[in-house]
Amino acid sequence: MSLQVDHLCKHYPTRSGALSVLRDVNLTLGPGEALVVMGPSGSGKSTLLHILGTLDTPTSGNVRLGGKDPFTLPERELADFRNRHVGFVFQDHHLLPQCSVLENVLIPTLAGSRDGQAESWARELLQRVGLSDRLDHRPAELSGGERQRVAIARALIRRPLLLLADEPTGNLDRRTAQGIGELLLAVYRQTNSILVVVTHSAELARQFPRRMEMADGTLQPEGARDEGRETRDEERITSLAPPPSSLAPPEKGAP
Ligand code: ADP
Ligand code: MG
């Protein structure tokens, strides 16, 4: 089952006219392939991910998963399709606070036909993400990284063809973020799904072999638009920092 995107466009109607966010996005990914999409805030990364996950509709162009255009399905079947074939990991984990870790992972299996294997698969996924000893915890009783691990297990519970992650490390510290990146890569390989991760973290992106950048409403090879942006960010951060002299201890004999 492959993901094929052809001439995808998305315009949002606004009071000041149509806002063109995606202009011509083309993409092909096969099973076991992963892509990271970078780009500045507002460039349309979430819009693209939502359309790939059928949470939003394109203005024009085509999305095919396994040769099938999901947007031709009636709404009810589209919801089934999404629940069955797409797993989402968001920046905010969206776990249900009143449910345990194990229950949260099982939530996507509650709709539709009951699968007797679901609970043992949930336990196995939670073991793979290193949370076997947290099954009865509530989300509030977990660290940020652990909550995101639960969200990844939940995204995988129905063995989706397509795993989509929108800024999955946006709320995590650097070390935890790296672990989540490694975990995403490991689990999608094990399940032979297609993984698309959106991030503005260069560190997370570096973990992925294939990287593209959202720019001017299209997907472009990384660095095609602006080779020097990383340096400029560093310069900007430096320019916001107080001058080093103000951090130095006062010299002996100074007033
Ligand atoms: P990113 O995830 O790259 O930060 P988004 O895909 O969220 O960017 O948004 C891209 C652009 O589309 C932004 O300028 C945003 O303001 C605009 N946008 C997003 N959703 C809507 C909407 N429902 N209606 C109008 N404009 C929208
Ligand atoms: Mg976004």
> Which of the ligands is closest to the CA of residue 92?
2
The pair of three-digit structure tokens given for residue 69, joined into one six-digit string: 């255009």
Could you state, in order of their start, the residue ranges of all structural domains in the chain? Answer: 3-96+161-237
Which of 10, 11, 14, 21 maximizes ligand 1 atoms within 8 Å of its Cβ, making it the mutation to test the pocket? 21
The rounded distance, in Å, linking the Cα atoms of 213 and 207 is 15
* pLDDT at 112 (0 to 100): 60
* pLDDT at 192 (0 to 100): 86
The pair of three-digit structure tokens given for residue 9, joined into one six-digit string: 């466009």
Residues 35 and 197 sit within 8 Å (Cβ to Cβ): yes
Distances (CA, A) of 240 to 112, 207, 244, 246, 250: 53, 29, 11, 13, 22
Q: Using a 6 Å cutoff on CB, does residue 41 contact ligand 1?
A: yes
Which of 12, 213, 219 maximizes ligand 1 atoms within 8 Å of its Cβ, making it the mutation to test the pocket? 12
Considering only CA atoms, which of 62, 69, 87 is closest in space to residue 165? 87
Is the CATH number 3.40.470.10 carried by domain 3-96+161-237?
no
Residues 42 and 50 sit within 8 Å (Cβ to Cβ): no
The rounded distance, in Å, linking the Cα atoms of 203 and 151 is 21
Q: Using a 6 Å cutoff on CB, does residue 91 contact ligand 1?
A: no
How many A from CA of 147 to the centre of ligand 2? 20
* pLDDT at 241 (0 to 100): 42
For each of the chain's 255 residues, which pLDDT tens digit applies? 899 999 999 999 999 999 999 999 999 999 999 999 999 999 999 999 999 999 999 999 999 998 899 999 999 999 999 998 999 998 888 999 999 999 999 998 987 666 678 999 999 999 988 899 999 999 999 999 999 999 999 999 988 999 999 999 888 888 888 888 888 888 888 888 999 999 988 889 999 989 999 999 999 988 776 554 444 444 444 444 444 443 444 444 444
pTM, to two decimals: 0.84
β-strand partners of 225: none
Chain position carrying tokens 């996950």: 53
The pair of three-digit structure tokens given for residue 222, joined into one six-digit string: 């990384």
